[in-house]
Structures are given as structure tokens and as C-alpha cells.
């Protein structure tokens, strides 16, 4: 496994958010974490990113533990997160947001080249590069959050609820872009409430319920599982 979560336990005060979660992502995969609100999906991503300290368990990346690393060091290792709710810097321009995504890099010339690559992938962002990020639509902010995360040149991209609050047409577009990013060589761990879309692009998936993994397997098999269909796919 390129990135592996082993028996992770996390608490918020008296609330046990994760109760022994184990999951992993192999190089080149898209792996989905699906489950209801409060299942522990976001907590898992935030713990991988170093934003939350677990009580016990381990997270390894290329065989090396991340548990004691601060978030900026985890980014410099090659793991970047697109946070839930986009979290763009609203009072900065589109271009400044992208530059912020490259804050750990010293290769200025390559940063410029990577900004061009982001604009090639998201032409709407180039049209609005001098615009304040807070004035963008929800879909454009999601594209900006993705572009900003790509600016740190991640090997693994953690994506938290990329379709949240978007119109159905835009959801299709965002998921197509996620597939393109993966095909271009970035491994993806995807947390998504829209289980149908997540399972349609993932190779494998884990189902979380109240802080525990209750099902795991090939995404195509889970999409056909009657329990998954009933609980998450509205079938």
C-alpha cells in the first residue's frame, strides 16, 4: 500500500469518532470512503493530513509513519487535501490562491508551469484569474480548491466531499476531472456523500458506519451489494 491507515482511534472529548479504522490506497488507485454523515469519513482524512492527532493506531506513507509529523511536513511528503466546503481564500484572487498552494516549493519557474497546467485543466479559472475567489460560483470554487491542492505536486490527493452543494451537471464535470487527475498519475482517496458517483469512478471502496469500517471491497461489487444499495444508493 502507498498510504495505509492501521487501527486508527480518534476521539473528540468523550465522543469516539473513529474506533479502529483500517484502510489503504495503492499507487494509481481511486479509493472511496462512503457512509452517512458522522460516520468518520472526514475525521479519517483530517487525521491523515495531521490536523487531528489520533489516540492510537498508525498511518504510513511509503512505509513511513506520519503520526508525529505536522501538517506542512505531510504536504511536503506528497499528500495534499481538498477540504470539505472548499475553503478557498475568499479575499485573494484565483491566481493568489494557486500560488498559496505552492507555498512549500522553491522551484519558481516550475510553479509558473504548473499554474499553466491548472489553467489548461480548468479554463474557467484562467478567465477569472484576477477575480477574488469569494466571488466565484460553488463549482468554480471547487475547481480552485482542486487546482490549489495540485500545486503542491501531490502523489496522493485527499478529496473531501467534492460534490457537496453542486448542481447535478457540475457534479458530473467535477467527477470527470477527478478521473482525469487520477489518469494523469495522482492517487486519490475520495470521501463522498454521493455514493453512486464515488463508486462509479473508484476501483475500491470502504463503507464507514459510526467510526468503523463495516464493508470493504471492489467498488463495482459494493455498488451491487443490496445493503449498500438500500442504505446509500437509494435503491
Domain ranges of the chain: 3-232
Does 234 score more than 80 pLDDT? no
Q: Predicted confidence band at 235 (pLDDT cuts at 50, 70, 90)?
A: low
Percent of the chain with pLDDT over 70: 99
C-alpha cell at 182: 487520477
List the one residue out of 175, 156, 155, 154 whose CA is nearest residue 164: 175
Q: What is the pLDDT of residues 84-125, one digit of tens each?
A: 877 899 899 999 999 988 887 888 789 988 999 999 999 999
Could you tell me the fold of the domain covering 3-232? Rossmann fold (3.40.50)
Judge residue 16's burial from the number of C-beta atoms within 10 Å of its C-beta, 0-12 exposed, 13-18 middle, 19 or more buried. middle
Interatomic CA distance for residues 98 and 145, integer angstroms: 9
Record the pTM.
Answer: 0.91
Instruction: Give me the residues paired with residue 38 across strands.
Output: none
- In whole angstroms, what separates CA 189 from the centre of its chain? 6
Amino acid at each position: 500500500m502507498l498510504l495505509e491507515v492501521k487501527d486508527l482511534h480518534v476521539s473528540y472529548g468523550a465522543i469516539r469518532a473513529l474506533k479502529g479504522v483500517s484502510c489503504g490506497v495503492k499507487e494509481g488507485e481511486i479509493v472511496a470512503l462512503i457512509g452517512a454523515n458522522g460516520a468518520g469519513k472526514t475525521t479519517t482524512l483530517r487525521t491523515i493530513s495531521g490536523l487531528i492527532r489520533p489516540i492510537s493506531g498508525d498511518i504510513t506513507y511509503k512505509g513511513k509513519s506520519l503520526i508525529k509529523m505536522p501538517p506542512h511536513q505531510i504536504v511536503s511528503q506528497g499528500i495534499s487535501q481538498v477540504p470539505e466546503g472548499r475553503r478557498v481564500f475568499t479575499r485573494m484572487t484565483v491566481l493568489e490562491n494557486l500560488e498559496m498552494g505552492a507555498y512549500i516549493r522553491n522551484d519558481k519557474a516550475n510553479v509558473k508551469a504548473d499554474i499553466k497546467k491548472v489553467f489548461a485543466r480548468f479554463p474557467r479559472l484562467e478567465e477569472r484569474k484576477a477575480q477574488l475567489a469569494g466571488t466565484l460560483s460553488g463549482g468554480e470554487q471547487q475547481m480552485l480548491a482542486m487546482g490549489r491542492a495540485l500545486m503542491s505536486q501531490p502523489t496522493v490527493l485527499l478529496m473531501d466531499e467534492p460534490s457537496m452543494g453542486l448542481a447535478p451537471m457540475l457534479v458530473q464535470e467535477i467527477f470527470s476531472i477527478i478521473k482525469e487527475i487520477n489518469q494523469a498519475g495522482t492517487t486519490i482517496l475520495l470521501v463522498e456523500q454521493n455514493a453512486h458517483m464515488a463508486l462509479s469512478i473508484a476501483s475500491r471502496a470502504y463503507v464507514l458506519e459510526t467510526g468503523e469500517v463495516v464493508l470493504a471491497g471492489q467498488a463495482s461489487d459494493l455498488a451491487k451489494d443490496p445493503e449498500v444499495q438500500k442504505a446509500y444508493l437509494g435503491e
